[in-house]
Chains A and B, each alone.
Chain A
């Protein structure tokens, strides 16, 4: 999307804050794990609170450093979500292709983001667990069917295709709302990298919080620079909060 005009050696590097939202057990953490570590873990235990991870992605013209908030899907953590999406430039709203309620939840998140998050936020709608479906995403069909039994989080019914939400349904909703749309499998890795690359490309360069360039040293400093605004708020709220709890 971005014209590759200048291909000089040290590409400009910028950090992008990304938040993952979605119902419990749709595979948010697994997507991140695939993206960050290129790994997959069966029966992953539920995230508690939120996990913070970073990963760099190289685009033709620049390097994007994702600062990822992987939030827990359980309802009781929902009230904490604003803290994570408040300054995010991008969001990944995930649902489970085999579970209709998860798309409803995803729509709620999209609405909340559009209402509350920063105006220019780039939202990607992601239908995960493509490996449990048949036919849809070409590569997924190649997966042996018996693996579905092993899949812990899957609501799969044992026959070949556990898909409950058609590609069309997801896509048309995404188009209505102006979201990026992907169907992925964190297990097989299908489309995972593509989602993040697409997000990186969709973020206008002006919105990026560019930090010092070059490799290495930029990492820590960049984060803190990007977070400067947060810290100002913190010092204000801290005093009372502490009193409140130290009773």
Chain B
């Protein structure tokens, strides 16, 4: 049924019919009667879509149980009896919601704690006191708090250790894992206070005390995510405490050699991680010895994804619910960062000579780059998710002028010339034969804009760098010069006044209004030549007013969704143009002001992305409804669109808005994206 470019509206209205009844369109559910549990909807989404796709939508609710690959389970009266056990409330819900029996997904066991967790999470406020009194085992359930939070907070079966374990061992299937963890911590932590605020303002339910305390714990954890774990060797450090801190991190990246030597760890010093490294190496090599390559496994609510690249093992440990494919892409980026430091021949040479090489020495000084990369993945990065670039929006004619200026001032040894403003591409000059690989640019941008070192140093830079996508066998040389875009502080003549800016390198505003000129050459002696080109380039850009153009484009920032489609329900979207390998997104403001909001948004995007990219799901349109957001992924050969609306938005409105976004993108394509660029 779904054609490639068919607008989602029709399909979603299909869903509307079936969904309201079967998959519990939460928007409607919220308005009358007790809200159908958000997480429940979460669980249903993929099922709903799969069913959608199979055109079996209107048939009957039961198929919803056989989402995933698991066989359907027999009816479970025990379920109901347990619910009744746990208090009248649950029973009440049972009556009100025809779908209550679907509260839990197919599991092999149901524990009391799960059921008790249900009312806490989902029933309206008035109910909660009762439930608290009438369910003595609440204590235990609270004690499980941390465990549950790992396993997918509040998911009916997610809290169920037994069932998790039984599925957890499925190795290496992105789709499956996604369904297990994809709406794990952050999937369900869309129930977190900030998200719930949305539902509040739209007449939703009130958050409950128990939830909130747990949620806040997670919030706090996320804000602590980037704090350093102190070194074991440091005086007065309690190792137990450090290990607890270390384990509390939502995400770990470990790199080790196949000989078991640590190369890099995002958190913790050598002494702290050595035992973990040892265990991981043992596990991996156990499988390797049997010629069976371990790709991933789940344990303690975290997904372990392993990538082996030549002499290196890269391991991602995430509680944030990315799919294996997504985690592997992140590991790939870390590996590329290592290659970009060493080149592939050097890396292989090191290990060919001495398999027990300690790679930390040759990599010394690049830990910051690896960590910047790792942190951007932990915060959630749209460019990394979509493997696409973002460009600064400007008029086609204006960009043309900049392109031509680049070409005019081009010096003979130039390979690539880039102008980047606030992490967004303004213009590219490249040889006809070579395009720029997004993963290469990801590394470059990471070095320049995420890791503060180069910018903070001031001056111009000459950096040997291997761009693996271009050629992983050798170095290129990159000239980098930052030009302050705001005219007031363009001159650094009065040095003493600059102290503040320099001593505060984390100041985001530096990134925001800085224009970087990147000139890449294959000739390591061409610094002065490129430097001269930079001078000319800036000169001409100033003369033909392009600097002014760039400045105002930066100042304008990304448009809000409502600027793009007036009155839209869409709060945020990602649009990727597959042909241009570029993406566009509106501003995070006003709906996603904090890092945590954005992480949750990105988690939702990750879930959508995993949904439409799952190996066996040839989905074109993926509609996802939870208590906190209604979202839509729409994939055609030309583009991918992911959009998110508030929890009470109707799917029709969302679909209409999505169509309008597509129309807008078509209209603005030449402004939003760099098409062709300056080719020589």
Contact = CB atoms under 8 A, between A and B. Distances in A.
Interface of A: 24, 29, 33, 36-41, 44-54, 68, 70, 72-77, 80, 83, 158, 220, 224, 227, 230-231, 233-235, 237-238, 241-242, 244-247
A224 B532 contact: yes
- The winner among B365, B451, B454, B505 for most chain A CB atoms within 10 A is B365
3 A-B pairs with least C-beta separation? A45-B453, A49-B463, A53-B459
Interface string B437-480: 00000000001000111101111111111000001011010100
B522 A234 contact: no
Interface string B508-535: 0000000000000111111111011001
Interface stretch (B86-94, B288-296, B493-501, B666-674): B493-501
Contacts of A231: 528-529
A51 B413 contact: no
B457 A70 contact: yes
A50 B462 contact: yes
A24 B342 CA distance: 17
Q: State which size class the interface on B falls in.
A: 35 or more
B176 to A, nearest CB: 40
A80 B415 contact: no
B532 A238 contact: no
A234 B458 contact: no
Contacts of A53: 458-460
A68 B458 CA distance: 12
A32 to B, nearest CB: 8
A75 to B, nearest CB: 7
B126 interface: no
A238 B526 contact: yes
A45 B456 contact: yes
A50 B456 contact: no
Contact of A49 (B364, B462, B521): B462
8 contacts: A46-B364, A46-B366, A51-B457, A51-B458, A70-B457, A83-B524, A234-B413, A235-B412
Contact of B342 (A41, A70, A76): A76
Contacts of B503: 39-41
A51 B459 contact: yes
A235 B528 CA distance: 11
Contacts of A73: 365
B341 interface: yes
B496 A76 contact: no
- The B interface is mostly helix, strand or loop, or mixed, namely mixed
Contacts of B415: 242, 245-246
B502 A37 contact: yes
Nearest to A73: B365
Contacts of A238: 412-413, 523, 525-526
B499 A74 contact: no
Contacts of A37: 458, 492, 495, 498-499, 502
Most buried by B among A40, A80, A242, A244: A242
B523 A41 contact: no
B499 A38 contact: yes
B502 A233 contact: no
Contacts of A45: 368, 451-453, 456
Nearest to B479: A52
Contact of A80 (B464, B492, B522, B532): B464
B523 A234 contact: yes
B434 interface: yes
Nearest to A49: B463
A48 B499 contact: no
A240 to B, nearest CB: 9
